[in-house]
């Protein structure tokens, strides 16, 4: 009886998988039909301005071959997969990328197998528009000139890496010392707030400065913190650092979500090191100070200074703070 039941159950799984396959195929047919109806009703619109039922412009024949390979679905070598309920696999590319097809085509322009263009700044602009993750490319990154092996562990924990370890072309600073000098707080000041050796795993949002402080122990994120959930489990990181990234250019609601996510990934007692948060004078007390209080950080350091490089009359301010996630 058990074997008979198992056989019937297996037949049911096969039937369900077949139904999934048919439903999936029907969905694609309906989508294509809606796109075709939209084209007939609005013949004056360029193809790349049309949208499918999900509001995303469909890929067009104008895309380069490399971009098509990177973002369009590919047939599974072994055919239909019941586990995936599909015979295709979709590359992990952000849906918002399809709204910026010209920029995406520029990003994917390179010599296959050659050296990748130095387009870090351009890539960041795409990320900030919500094009995350970016498609993969088939090119090699530029190698640093005079590269040397990293400092061995454990000396690497507190040693400043050699300047030849990265390429500085796209950055204002051209050395690690320049990055260190731009910090409002010294590393020793931050470490003294915690028991010796308890700051082990860190995340630097955007600028790479924490990597200077923690050497190879820090992890740099090249994503936009305003819109992306941080790829870490809850209560895991000892410290999160951000400099010149989190500021008033981010809408208030998105910023609060980002700050809550930083709170989420920090362990109890973990530190949020916020450096050079830019804002207008009225925003400081009316918007941002209450926001940090709502989230629940404990203020270990809170320093505010006027930003005068564009004129005192601008009433622009910098906030630097060392915040702690409560133990309970």
What average pLDDT does the chain have? 77
Q: Which two tokens stand for residue 200?
A: 């082990």
3-state secondary structure of 248: coil
Q: Which CATH code is given to the segment(s) 183-325?
A: 3.40.50
* Distance set, CA 180 to CA 18, 86, 100 (Å): 60, 51, 36
Predicted pLDDT of residue 119: 85
Least confident of 21-30, 52-61, 78-87, 158-167: 52-61
In sequence order, which ranges of the chain are alpha helices (DSSP H)?
2-41, 65-71, 101-107, 120-128, 176-181, 187-191, 209-214, 252-265, 281-283, 289-295
**CA 128/CA 258 separation, integer angstroms:** 13
**CA 129/CA 223 separation, integer angstroms:** 11
User: Is the predicted pLDDT of residue 212 greater than 90, yes or no?
Assistant: no
Beta strands 202-205; 88-89: pairing state: unpaired
Could you tell me which residue, 105 or 229, shows the higher pLDDT?
105
Nearest CA-CA partner of 297 in 325, 262, 267: 325
Sorted by where each begins, the domain ranges of the chain are: 51-142, 183-325
What's the rounded mean pLDDT across residues 143-156?
A: 82
**CA 209/CA 242 separation, integer angstroms:** 8
Could you tell me which residue, 172 or 206, shows the higher pLDDT?
172
Count of C-beta atoms within a 10 Å radius of residue 106: 15
* Distance set, CA 289 to CA 33, 64, 98, 117 (Å): 52, 48, 37, 41
Q: What is the pTM of this model?
A: 0.59
Predicted pLDDT of residue 91: 77
Least confident of 8-17, 121-130, 156-165, 233-242: 8-17
Q: What is the pLDDT of residues 50-93, one digit of tens each?
A: 444 344 455 555 677 888 877 788 888 788 888 878 888 877 77
Least confident of 40-44, 220-224, 323-327: 220-224
User: Is the predicted pLDDT of residue 44 greater than 60, yes or no?
Assistant: no
**CA 239/CA 232 separation, integer angstroms:** 13
What's the rounded mean pLDDT across residues 112-124?
A: 86
Give percent of the chain with pLDDT exceeding 90. Answer: 9
The DSSP letter of residue 52 is -
């Amino acid at each position: 009886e058990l074997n008979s039941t198992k056989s019937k159950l297996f037949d049911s799984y096969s039937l369900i998988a077949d139904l999934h396959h048919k439903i999936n195929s029907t969905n694609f047919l309906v989508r294509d039909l809606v796109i075709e109806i939209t084209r007939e009703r609005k013949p004056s619109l360029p193809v790349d301005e049309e949208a499918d039922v999900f509001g995303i412009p469909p890929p067009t024949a104008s895309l380069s071959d490399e971009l098509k390979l990177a973002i369009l679905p590919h047939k599974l070598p072994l055919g239909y997969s019941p586990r995936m309920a599909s015979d295709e696999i979709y590359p992990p590319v952000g849906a918002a990328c399809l709204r910026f097809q010209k920029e995406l085509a520029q990003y994917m322009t390179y010599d296959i197998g050659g050296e990748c263009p130095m387009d870090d700044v351009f890539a960041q602009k795409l990320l900030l528009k919500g094009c995350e993750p970016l498609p993969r490319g088939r090119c090699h990154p530029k190698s640093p000139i005079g590269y040397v092996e990293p400092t061995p562990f454990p000396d690497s924990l507190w040693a400043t890496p050699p300047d030849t370890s990265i390429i500085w072309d796209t950055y204002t600073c051209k050395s690690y010392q320049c990055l260190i000098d731009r910090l409002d707080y010294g590393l020793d000041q931050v470490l003294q707030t915690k028991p010796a050796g308890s700051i082990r795993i860190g995340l630097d949002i955007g600028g790479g400065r924490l990597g200077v402080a923690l050497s190879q122990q820090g992890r740099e994120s090249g994503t936009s913190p305003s819109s992306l959930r941080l790829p870490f489990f809850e209560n895991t990181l000892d410290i999160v650092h951000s400099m010149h990234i989190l500021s008033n250019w981010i809408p208030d609601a998105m910023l609060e979500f980002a700050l809550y996510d930083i709170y989420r990934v920090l362990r109890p007692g973990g530190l949020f090191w916020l450096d050079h948060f830019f804002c207008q004078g009225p925003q400081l007390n009316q918007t941002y100070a209450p926001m940090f209080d709502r989230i629940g950080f404990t203020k270990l350091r809170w320093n505010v200074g006027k930003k005068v490089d564009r004129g005192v009359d601008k009433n622009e301010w910098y906030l630097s703070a060392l915040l702690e996630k409560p133990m309970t």
